[in-house]
Amino acid sequence: MAGSAATVGVLALQGDVREHAALLASLGAEAVLVRRPAELAEVDGLVIPGGESSVIDKLSRIFGMQEPIRTAIADGMPMLGTCAGLIMLADNVTDAIEGQESFGGLDVVVRRNAFGRQVESFEAELDVPELDGGPVRAAFIRGPVVESVGPAASTLASLPDGRVVAVEQGSLLGLSFHPEITGETRFHERFLARVTARKSRLR
C-alpha cells in the first residue's frame, strides 16, 4: 500500500479522530495521534479531521500547536483537511467567530457551515477527474464550501451547482466532506502517496 512506510499523524484535539486513524491504518500507514509539537515532529504527514473549527483553532493555540503546524505547512509536510480541517487549512475564512484563526496554506476563501445545520446534512455523488474508479460518494455534515480558489490552488471537485468542495495545492488537500465515514479511501490514498514520496525525497 502507498502508506506502508509512512507515519501519519491525526491532529487529536477535537473531532472525528478515530475514524481517520482507522482508515489510515487500513491503508497500511502507521497512524498516530498528535496533540503536542514533539509528536508532530515525529510524523511524515498530518490529517486535520472534521469537528468544530473554532474549537480546533482554540485548542491548537492552548497546546502550542498553531505555529508548529504553520511551520510544517511552509516546509512542505503533506496535510489532508476534511470539513473543519479544510477551514483550518484555508488562507481566508468567512463567517468565522470573532478572533478565529486558521493555519493557512491553501489559497482559497472558505465559508463555515455553508450547508446549514447538522439536520440539513446530505450525501452527494461527485465527479473527481483526478481520481480513478468512478464517482465519489461524499457526506456533508455542517460542511464548509470554497467560495473562491486563488491562482496557487486548484479545484478537484464541485457540486452540480458549481460550489467547490475539494481543492489541493502542492502537498495540501482540503475537502468539505467526510470520506472517512462513507468508506471512500481514494483521497487518503492520494494523500499517502504524497507522504511517501516526500519521505523518499528527504532520505
Q: H or E stretch including 130?
A: none
Q: Which residue out of 20, 52, 168, 180 is catalytically annotated?
A: 180
Residue 113 in grid coordinates: 457551515
Q: Which residue out of 20, 52, 168, 178 is catalytically annotated?
A: 178
Q: Which residue out of 20, 52, 83, 168 is catalytically annotated?
A: 83
What is the C-alpha separation between 195 and 172, in angstroms, rounded?
10
Which residues in the chain come in under a pLDDT of 70?
1-5, 116-120
Q: What is residue 113's predicted lDDT score, i.e. its pLDDT?
A: 80
User: Who's near 137: CB < 8 A, 6+ residues apart?
Assistant: 123, 124, 125, 126, 182, 184
- Tell me the pTM: 0.93
Q: What is residue 116's predicted lDDT score, i.e. its pLDDT?
A: 67
Mean pLDDT of the chain: 93
